[in-house]
Structure 1
Amino acid sequence: MSLTQDACERIREAIVSGKLEFGERLSEEQIARALGMSKAPVRAAFMDLRDMGLVTVVPQAGTYVFAPSKQDVEEMSHFRAMLENKALNDALARDPEAVVQGLSAAIYQMEQAIASGEWALYSKADSAYHRVLLQLAGNRYLEKAYDLTATALEALRARLQSGEGNFWQRSFAEHIQMRDLIVKGKFDAAHAILQEHILIINRSLPEPDTNPYKRTKVQRRSDEECTALMQQYGPTSRRV
């Protein structure tokens, strides 16, 4: 793994997990010190993260963790629902048994994460569940299109799953329900569950800050805090 890839993966994990807050300003120099590398790979990592939709570069102001508007979330979730419903339809037409096996494996990972209380692992298992549909659809361009918004939506859902309320319980129940409907051959009902499962995020997120890139929104982390954060996301953290 190159230094740029390492930096990108660590920062991505910190954003998706919620340890880096929406709208938080990222210091290229500080992160480079925390990772023990020069600024060049961190700068390149910021560009990769921008392409994933996870950071926003504000001219003459800096680089910030993305802070999606209500419209952003609605457009991303409807785009995802369209792609996943197409993927589910194609995957079921090709090999419904493989779909059930793949979804069941991801559900098992979710159960293990729930039992251990490791919500970051639950989030990864949740993503793996949905990837099953894309991977079995037999159309590599569907997965490429999905990747345009997948990581940003993963970050949004991870914050809901780790917060108050019963979002993750409902999410987990819907995963099982959709798999069971497919087992019974009730494909139309499975599509309906998938649609609701994805679009519920539009009704669950709080209203966003109208000016998320204010310097006063998130206090600057100390070098020690930044180092401790980046060290949480080394190679051993990338399980599931």
Structure 2
Amino acid sequence: MRVLERGPSLTDQAAQEIRARIVRGVFQLGEPLSEITLANELGVSKTPVREALMELKRQGLVEVHPQRGTFVFEMDATQVRKLSELRAILETAALKLAVANDAPGLRTRWQRIVEEMRAALAEADAERYRTLDGEFHRVMFELADNPYLLEAFDLIAFRVQALRNRLSLDPTLNSTSFDEHVRLAAMVPDSGSIDEIVDLLGRHIEWTREHYLVELASAAETVSPARQKQRRRADEA
């Protein structure tokens, strides 16, 4: 008896595409999402889009506010600090395991990604740069060879990527971020103490946190008319 193969449903496809746009930074934090606009762009009815948004809500990627509409998730200062604390714990553990398991492999993969990041910066390709930034950090978890550690990181990875998306809009911050990635790739030890590279990784994560907190404070001071208009359109959709 032949078992029928089923492809992903329209709801699954819609959820995958919207999720990808959020993670890539096409949709920014707090941006309103219109079911009608998304349905038109994806070439489907509103039903699979509505179901997809509810699934993404369960995953924490979107927020649904009654009488207001659906928005890409946002993080306040407290959430950013707590996210950074957890990120530091997970990435430090992953780095130590990756170095212990395969230091040469970590160095080689990091150096390759760094060269791709260099090219992305030269081409002013911010989207490519932040994607590579995410890959750089994920390598540690892959070489750590601990599926539970990777699973734990995947639970917060989209939020971490959202921070990168916001900060990568500033070329100056990208340049500073790149310099730190170059230093990390060059500091992978063959053996012995890894305190120095662990310390740099911690300061790199702290740097991301502090700059995003500055972004949050700046955004709180001024809500642009365009943003207000976006929210009104989402409320009416």
User: Does TM, normalized by the shorter one, top 0.5?
Assistant: yes
2:205 is matched with which residue? Answer: 198
**Distance in 2 (alpha carbons) for counterparts of 1:175 and 1:48:** 35
Evaluate the alpha carbon distance shift between residue 51 and residue 149 of structure 1 in structure 2; reply closer, same or farther with a 3 A threshold: farther
2:220 is matched with which residue? Answer: 209
SS at match of 1:199: helix
Could you give the per-residue CA deviations for residues 137-163 of structure 1, whole angstroms, max 9, x where no partner exists? 111111111112211221121211212
Evaluate the alpha carbon distance shift between residue 9 and residue 115 of structure 1 in structure 2; reply closer, same or farther with a 3 A threshold: farther
Matches within 5 A, 1:54-203: 54-163=61-170, 166-183=172-189, 185=191, 187-203=194-210
Evaluate the alpha carbon distance shift between residue 47 and residue 141 of structure 1 in structure 2; reply closer, same or farther with a 3 A threshold: farther
1:45 and 2:45 equivalent?
Answer: no
2:29 is matched with which residue? Answer: 22
Counterpart residue identity of residue 141, structure 2:
L
> Greater relative contact order: 1 or 2 (C-alpha under 8 angstroms, separation 6 or more)?
1
Contact 1:53 1:152 in 2 (8 A): no
**Distance in 2 (alpha carbons) for counterparts of 1:57 and 1:4:** 17
Q: In the TM superposition, what is the alpha-carbon distance from 1:37 to its structure 2 partner?
A: 0.8
Contact 1:100 1:182 in 2 (8 A): yes
Q: In the TM superposition, what is the alpha-carbon distance from 1:199 to its structure 2 partner?
A: 1.7
Larger radius of gyration: 2
Q: How many correspondences in the alignment?
A: 220
Contact 1:178 1:194 in 2 (8 A): yes
**Distance in 1 (alpha carbons) for counterparts of 2:164 and 2:104:** 28
**Distance in 2 (alpha carbons) for counterparts of 1:9 and 1:137:** 27
Evaluate the alpha carbon distance shift between residue 196 and residue 66 of structure 1 in structure 2; reply closer, same or farther with a 3 A threshold: same
Q: In the TM superposition, what is the alpha-carbon distance from 1:184 to its structure 2 partner?
A: 6.1
Structure 2 unaligned residues grouped into runs of 5+ = 1-6
Evaluate the alpha carbon distance shift between residue 105 and residue 52 of structure 1 in structure 2; reply closer, same or farther with a 3 A threshold: farther
TM-score w.r.t. length of structure 2: 0.81
TM-score w.r.t. length of structure 1: 0.80
SS at match of 1:53: coil
Percent sequence identity is 36
| Runs of 4+ residues over 6 Å off in structure 1 | none
SS at match of 1:117: coil
Larger relative helix fraction: 2
SS at match of 1:200: helix
Contact 1:24 1:217 in 2 (8 A): no
Contact 2:23 2:162 in 1 (8 A): yes
Counterpart residue identity of residue 137, structure 1:
A
Contact 2:32 2:69 in 1 (8 A): yes
Q: In the TM superposition, what is the alpha-carbon distance from 1:80 to its structure 2 partner?
A: 0.8
SS at match of 1:23: coil
Contact 1:99 1:133 in 2 (8 A): yes
2:230 is matched with which residue? Answer: 219
Counterpart residue identity of residue 96, structure 1:
A
Evaluate the alpha carbon distance shift between residue 218 and residue 149 of structure 1 in structure 2; reply closer, same or farther with a 3 A threshold: farther
